[in-house]
Amino acid sequence: MNLRYRLISLSAPILALSLSVLLTSLILTAIGKDPIETFVLMYDYGTTGKSLVSVFNRFIPLYISAIAVAVGFKMGLFNIGVEGQYLLSALLAAAIGASFSVSRPLHILLIMLIATAISSVWGAIAGYLKVSRGIHEVISTIMLNYIGTGIIAYLLGQVFNDEDAANLIPQTTPLPETGQIPSLNNLLNIENLPSLHGFLPIAIFLGLLYYFLIWKTTLGYNLRITGQNPTAAKFSGVDPKRLTMLAMVISGGFAGLVGMGPLLSYHHQYSIDFPAGIGFAGIGVALLGRNHPVGMAFGAILFAFLERSSQILDLRDVPKEIETMMSAFILLIVVVFYEVIRRYIVTQQIKEASRQVDD
Amino acid sequence: MTRMKSKWLVLFIVFGLILTACGGSSDDAAEEVVVEEEPAETLDAPATTAAAAEPEEPAAKVCLVLDIGGLGDQGFNDMAYDGYNKALADFNVEGTFLEPDEGGENRGELLDLCAADGNDLVIGNGFLFAGAITEAAANHPDVNFAITDETFVQGENIRSMVFAEEQGSYLVGVAAALKTTSNVVGFVGGVDIPLIHAFEAGFIQGVRSVNPDITIISKYASVPPDFSGFNDPVKGKEIALAMYEEGADIVYHAAGGTGIGVCQATAEASAGGEKVWCIGVDTDQITTIGSAFPETQEYFLSSMLKQVDVAVYNAIRDVVNGDFGSGSDGGPAVIRENLASGGIDISYTGGYIDDIKDSIEAARADIISGAVTVSRERP
């Protein structure tokens, strides 16, 4: 794709953002709130030092979740199960990780490994059901989310609940210090602000890993061509069943790391306060970022920023649900425009090709 | 080809129009932005702007963060909100109230926000705030915090407001045991957690104290970490109908908004035969659920009163009067409400248990005098 087309496709998210701002403004005006005042309020609150730290902390799991979804998207698989995969693996990793203690980097690595393994297995179930029984992964992953929630409820309430905890909230035993990632504040000389989660470099590394995997390996190549043309891929020697399994396992593996940012660098234990819903939010980010590591990074930052900056609204008598609507507008519009632009580019390419033939 | 081009032309014209429309409106607003920037920046001291707008400076600023279920649960959250509103009116206090997201994950953020926003008192309604409030209180040592239903919080600036739910539940248990004709009674809990176990435990002990042979069916609407059981009227109705089907004629609930469904089930279950009852919780629900759904009114045997509104009101009053941290140990007080203090009570509204009032009052006297101790642990 040449530069011109790249620029054209880049216009979609920008258009989506401006249109959603416009639509949100209309709604705000309709309910008698000043839209400009509201956006200035959100911007001012969202760019305070404290908020920026929070935005980055929100970005970490959201970005990894988007990567997990994108791995599936690349070969045309919809992994709706990231939600269940990361929650279940975070609970088990938290519980198992708290039961032993080794030196720091090793302990952290082991916890992440446990989470990845469990999450991969959970994702592989959906993959297996698809290749062996032809069950569509959307159905099976949604169902597996419910099963996962049930298992979490049982395990957290009955098996792993920390009876010694000084409150009534169901929670696992906290991880020992060796299993905690220190914050980046000291490293980056950030003072007087909440802690910036130490998982941030790992999230960036995962973005690079994803890029390398999809665009620089044979496996990634096979995933991409299967996503674009399954029939052609099959005739070029790709085993679709094996690839489906692999994609679900890899997607699940990334999903397992979604919960690690909050777990290792902030919560240090799984409780009912553990952030949920990131698996679903990641689907939106992957769509917005078009499965590209850089695009998804921008998408994750945008959604993290909107979520954080909207927290102030209720305090200033503006319904916070505005932010949910805005995110929904962005997604809806961007999906439409990507499709419009895709068709435009295809026709342009055909025209170019025919012109070259004519010449 | 020309068709294709004209399509794009139209598209761009439309966008051009939209963009110019945007530009137009932002022109008007350019001046406004300058004006608006200032109050938005003074997040740390908005009290000054508020004071400028009002002729009289508020005595204090308080912030109430409700729990899952939010407003409209006809119980716990609504009561806290009532107490807060009453205090606002009585003491010239400026207030903000917030509801967390559906899952409640942002409650810590809301507490922090309230504290940073210049509030003198930040109230977290419910034990789920325990972790979040400890953290927020440590980060904002100058702000007072209060939490209901939880004593395991650490901090010089936190007041805990806890209730002896087991005592009130014991009394409604006595009433249920004396009123049942089928000798089967039911208990519906919102979420299977120790706090709600205290209600169940008190109820069971109360029933057993009258007649140990009565069958008690207990059921919880959800299991943690799923807290939807506090806000699921449909499920409440389903559970209660099943209990009435099994022969229960009185069902006591401690299930927040889910209880609305429990009491709605009474009318339906009574339609075909024997009249069945429900017992409300927290507030005098014959007046709250009863007025929202008038058909349920005649089925409210009683309610176990847990006066969260009074506790919230008192916390705000004490902040206004400067008595907030007046616990006996010099730190923040743990306020314990029970039958003796009046923060826990039984309702006689409706008159359905007036005939057994003597037995209930005898049980109350026994608990207050210490002759009977009610355990929070289920037998």
Element at A275 (helix H, strand E): none
Per the document, the length of chain B is 379
Give domain limits for chain A. 50-318, 322-354
Answer whether A105 touches B (CB < 8 Å): no
Mutate to test the interface with A, among B34, B36, B44 (most CBs of A within 10 A): B36
* Equal fold, B50-163 vs B165-305+348-369: yes
CATH for B165-305+348-369, options being 1.10.10.10, 3.40.50.2300, 3.10.580.10, 3.40.50.720: 3.40.50.2300
Per-residue pLDDT tens over the stretch A198-221: 999 999 999 999 999 999 999 999
pLDDT surpassing 70 at residue B10: no
pLDDT at position B288 is 87
pLDDT surpassing 80 at residue A302: yes
Q: Could you give the residue ranges of the DSSP H alpha helices within chain A?
A: 3-30, 35-46, 49-74, 82-97, 104-133, 137-154, 200-216, 218-228, 230-235, 240-258, 260-262, 278-288, 293-309, 321-358
Across B354-368, b (16+ Cβ under 10 Å) vs e yields eeeeebbeebbeebe
Size of interface A-B (CB pairs under 8 A): 104
Per-residue pLDDT tens over the stretch A246-278: 999 999 999 999 999 999 998 899 988 888 889
pLDDT surpassing 90 at residue A108: yes
Per-residue pLDDT tens over the stretch B81-97: 999 999 998 998 888 88
What integer is the mean pLDDT of A29-51?
Answer: 91
CATH for A50-318, options being 3.40.91, 1.10.357, 1.10.3470, 1.10.10: 1.10.3470
For tokens 């902390």, name the residue. A57
Residue A209 Cα, gap to closest chain B Cα (Å): 30
Which residues of A fall within a CB distance of 8 Å from B114? 315
What integer is the mean pLDDT of B124-135?
Answer: 86
pLDDT at position A1 is 54
User: 3-state secondary structure string, B17-32?
Assistant: HHHHHHHHHHHHHHHH
pLDDT surpassing 90 at residue A80: yes
For residue B271, the tally of other CB atoms under 10 A from its CB is 9
- Model's pTM, two decimal places? 0.79
Cβ distance B178 to B358 under 8 Å?
no
- Are β-strands B277-282 and B250-254 bridged in parallel, bridged antiparallel, or unpaired? parallel
Give domain limits for chain B. 50-163, 165-305+348-369
What does pLDDT average to over chain A?
91
Mutate to test the interface with B, among A156, A306, A315 (most CBs of B within 10 A): A315
ipTM value: 0.72
Element at B357 (helix H, strand E): helix B357-369
pLDDT at position B54 is 45
What integer is the mean pLDDT of B286-294?
Answer: 87
Residue B173 CA to residue B210 CA, distance in Å, equals 9
Which residues of A fall within a CB distance of 8 Å from B140? none
Q: How far is CA B330 from CA A143, B159, B333, B348, in A?
A: 54, 12, 8, 39
Nearest to A75 by CA among A225, A219, A215: A225
User: 3-state secondary structure string, B310-338?
Assistant: HHHHHHHHHHHHCCCCCCCCCCCCEEEEC
CATH of domain B50-163: 3.40.50.2300
What does pLDDT average to over chain B?
81
Report the range of poorest mean pLDDT among A157-166, B222-231, B357-366.
Answer: A157-166
Per-residue pLDDT tens over the stretch B188-200: 999 888 889 999 9
Residue B198 CA to residue B190 CA, distance in Å, equals 12
For tokens 């942002």, name the residue. B106
Residue A201 CA to residue A267 CA, distance in Å, equals 18
Per-residue pLDDT tens over the stretch B35-50: 333 333 334 444 444 4
Residue B53 CA to residue B36 CA, distance in Å, equals 15
Please list the residues that pair with B160 across neighbouring strands.
B147, B334
Read off the tokens for A88: 């279940």
Residue B310 Cα, gap to closest chain A Cα (Å): 23
What integer is the mean pLDDT of B104-113?
Answer: 83
Report the range of poorest mean pLDDT among A93-97, B143-147, B362-366.
Answer: B143-147
pLDDT at position B40 is 38
Question: What is the Cα gyration radius of chain B?
Answer: 26
Cβ distance A259 to A93 under 8 Å?
yes
Q: Where does the pLDDT of residue A18 fall: very low under 50, low under 70, confident under 90, or very high at 90 and above?
A: very high
What integer is the mean pLDDT of A315-333?
Answer: 89
What integer is the mean pLDDT of B275-303?
Answer: 90
What integer is the mean pLDDT of A319-334?
Answer: 91
